[in-house]
Structure 1
Amino acid sequence: MVIHNLSLQNSILNNFLSEIRSVDLQKDRMRFRRNIERIGEILGYEMSKNLSYNSESIKTPLGTSKINLPENDIVLCSILRAGVPLHNGLLNYFDTAENAFISAYRHHKHSLESFEIIVEYLACPNLEGKTLILADPMLATGQSMLATFEALKPFGTPKEIHLVSVIGAQDGVNFVEQHFDVNTNLWIAAIDKTLNDKGYIVPGLGDAGDLAFGKKLQQ
């Protein structure tokens, strides 16, 4: 797997990361969602440099201009509900992409420390020969990303796969590196060192879904 950790270089991305991590600024849900969206735009821009391009002629009012344009057939798949702002950011740049959505959540059957990933809802176009972007803001254990990919397999074999996350734990990065093809690309804004005993990223930012949309009732 090719890992693109954008935090290794200083950029305006650092400002958005600092705001989504801050316990004071997190209280503003609209600002949190917008910052996740902006991070998605930056990750999408960086990823676009690795796509395939073809030269085309564009007619202007005064002549013709040749320009290289991306030729990938993109399918953007996000994990509900936390993935929605990240999805919007990517879609701002890949506005002709097809879209897929999946619900994957942690089911704590016996304790808060142990869980399994449950997939309940899935809507997806044909993936055969296309460029698949899997977007999940928090790459903690990596199990949600893998469960999503496994659920998508009946829809076809993508030509290439890009994983996109805002913050990941090193354990989660190692997990997806072991379970995805060596040619898969991971685009991530920051990688933290550890997970706590509940499988949350430390220092991380907390529960991205709750911060974006409000706390949910536990069932």
Structure 2
Amino acid sequence: MIINDFSKENSLISKYIFELRDVSIQKDSMRFRRNIERIGEIMSYEISKTLNYETVKVTTPLGEKEVYVPDNKIVLCSILRAGLPLHNGVLNYFDSVENAFISAYREHPNDDDDDFEVIVSYLASPSIEGKTLILVDPMLATGKTLENVLEALKNHGKPKQIHILSVIGAKPGIEYVEKIFPADTHLWIAAVDDSLDSRGYIIPGLGDAGDLAYGEKL
């Protein structure tokens, strides 16, 4: 896996990560969503540098000019619900891509917070055969969600290239995903934390991204 860790370089992403983590600032749900969206926009610009380009001719009011434009067929897949702000950020830059949505949640069969499995209950996706797949999951914790999403998408074809976008990840989860995904997969991540707690949440992380973006659930 090709890991692009933005925390290892100076960029505005570090400011947005600070605000996402801060317990006082993150209470503003609109600002929280917008900061994740901004990270998606910055990552999209960086992803654009890895795409294939073709030469096309454009007609202006005063003549013609050859320009380079991406020629990749892209499917953007968001993991509901926490992935929506990051999805929107990517969509702001890749506005003509196809879109897919998948629902994945943690089920605790024995009412034990420490014992859970990730359940995929909804998937709406076009064919991903031979296309560039961008998977959006803001919190890469255990890696089990991405594993289940990859399995669920198999019936929709085999992508030519995979990009994973995450805001914060834990080292154990990243190591797990490296074993599951193809070696040429790109991981774009804004920050990497060292560990998970017994419930599989990132430490120190930022809390529950879905709840902070859209309100607490039952």
- Unaligned 5+ segments in structure 2 are none
**1:72-114 superposed Cα distances (whole Å, 9 cap, x missing partner):** 1000000000000010000001100000000001111121011
Q: What residue identity is the alignment partner of 2:145? A: S
Report matched runs for 1:44-63 at 5 Å: 44-63=44-63
1:33: how far off?
Answer: 0.4
Query: What is the aligned partner in structure 1 of residue 168 from structure 2?
Result: 167
Q: Which residue of 2 aligns with 1:138?
A: 139
Query: Partner residue of 1:119?
Result: 120
Which residue identity does 1:31 align to in structure 2? R
Q: Distance in 1 between matches of 2:43 and 2:193?
A: 17
- 2:15 alignment partner in structure 1: 15
- Written as runs of structure 1 = structure 2, the 5 A alignment for 1:1-219 is 1-110=1-110, 111-217=112-218
Read off the aligned partner of 1:43 and give its amino acid letter: M
Helix, strand or coil for the counterpart of 1:38?
helix
Alpha-carbon distance in structure 2 between the residues aligned to 1:46 and 1:166? 14
Count how many residue pairs are aligned between Structure 1 and Structure 2: 217
Unaligned residue ranges in structure 1 (runs of 5+): none
Other structure's SS at 2:18 match: helix
Q: CA deviation at 1:61?
A: 1.5
Partner Cα distance (1:175, 1:36) in 2: 24
Name the Cα RMSD after superposition.
0.7
Alpha-carbon offset, residue 26 of structure 1: 0.9
Distance 2:118 2:136 in 1: 16
Distance 2:104 2:60 in 1: 46
Using the size of structure 1 for normalisation, the TM-score is 0.97
How far 1:55 moved relative to its partner?
1.3
SS of residue matched to 2:119: strand
Distance 1:58 1:114 in 2: 57
> How far apart are the structure 2 equivalents of 1:80 and 1:139?
14
